[in-house]
Structure 1
């Protein structure tokens, strides 16, 4: 799963990575949590366009928000068939710029050690995402998004069994449906990234609180002893707090 990530670069770096200009921007973010505003890149009028949306997808057909779980992740293996995601998977795919993400490893003693997974080569990467548009009964419109996940690659598997799908730069237009085939074959991108894509860095417990949103939470922490790899059944992730900052 991916319940926290970072986007901490000047806006010029994002503009250059995705060949866009005039991005609506917010300060560098080191601890982005579900329900908060996030930057996405989507296809509009035949080109890449940035947008700020809420992290946590609300399907367009939703009637009762109180009955909807917080859909901040979607399993890539089943997204094309699940009612909550299949419409967006076909017509509203997006890229979610990031400079890394966080995951928690559960040790033999039950304690959870957070890790920051930063791109081994640095810079900005793109998670595969889906977005949707929802309107309430008063006509107020909210755009929302979710991050697609896949099985962890070898370097992340000892920490957690899932990780975000990473879209490579030469695949951006394929994922967005801006290529000549209008996205035909985009499903083949839903694979774990190659080993060596990320560098796992143990960090301190500051990341556990979404209010700690500064570079200090990414500093390498001293870990007394590494926890052994765990089975899928033993693994767990932290749940986002109910009091997280709300965009809408």
Structure 2
């Protein structure tokens, strides 16, 4: 489960990678650490097919049966809780990311605390990529969560259970935002570890 990521790219960098978009883009600061319940930049499709940048809170309001706690990661794609958002391309989004964190399984012997391990794209790539996300409107504003899948070997050395579903700009993003459910959910697969690195 990923519960920490960063997004330090500028609006101009996002436009170069993901193409033109609308929205309040006058001042998007660097987000060094984004945790659940924080607001973060998200890109979604508009009715005319273009992209719009919005700030969304990370974490879907949870089902009452689970105590209503926000749900940040989408692992079980067959769950009825995610049915509407996954079926409707208008409810899918991309979450711009420059790196994400997983915590070590064991505490550091000296500090007695688990350590952060950050992952990103390998150095020959632009650092900006996206998570495959879904969103919903709500009384407190829009909310988002993103998909997770089986971990690749690189991430699995730290967190073997899962990793976020990472999209490369271009065909992956278009497939996620525009195609029918089965084709979109086919992207829920481990990202190529050869295209990734430990950032720290």
TM-score (norm 2): 0.84
Query: After the TM superposition, which parts of structure 1 deviate over 4 Å for at least 4 consecutive aligned residues?
Result: 108-111, 181-184
Cα–Cα, structure 1 residues 66 and 73, in superposed 2: closer, same or farther, change >3 Å?
closer
How many Å separate the matches in 2 of 1:19 and 1:122? 14
The DSSP-based 3-state class of the residue aligned with 2:40 is: strand
Is the 8 Å Cα contact of residues 15 and 23 (structure 1) preserved in structure 2? no
- Relative to its length, the structure with more helix (as a share) is 2
- 1:3 aligns to what? 3
- 2:18 aligns to what? 18
Offset at residue 11 of structure 1 (A)? 1.2
Cα–Cα, structure 1 residues 66 and 157, in superposed 2: closer, same or farther, change >3 Å?
closer
- 1:41 aligns to what? 43
1:173 aligns with 2:174: yes
Gaps (5+ residues) in structure 2? none
CA RMSD of aligned residues (A): 2.3
- 1:123 aligns to what? 127
How many Å separate the matches in 2 of 1:65 and 1:6? 31
Pick which of 89-98 and 45-54 moved more: 45-54
TM-score (norm 1): 0.69
Gaps (5+ residues) in structure 1? 135-139, 203-248
- 1:98 aligns to what? 97
How many Å separate the matches in 2 of 1:11 and 1:198? 23
Which protein is bigger by CA-based radius of gyration?
1
How many Å separate the matches in 2 of 1:74 and 1:6? 19
Cα–Cα, structure 1 residues 172 and 113, in superposed 2: closer, same or farther, change >3 Å?
same
Cα–Cα, structure 1 residues 83 and 105, in superposed 2: closer, same or farther, change >3 Å?
same
How many Å separate the matches in 1 of 2:52 and 2:199? 32
Is the 8 Å Cα contact of residues 174 and 184 (structure 1) preserved in structure 2? no
How many Å separate the matches in 2 of 1:87 and 1:190? 17
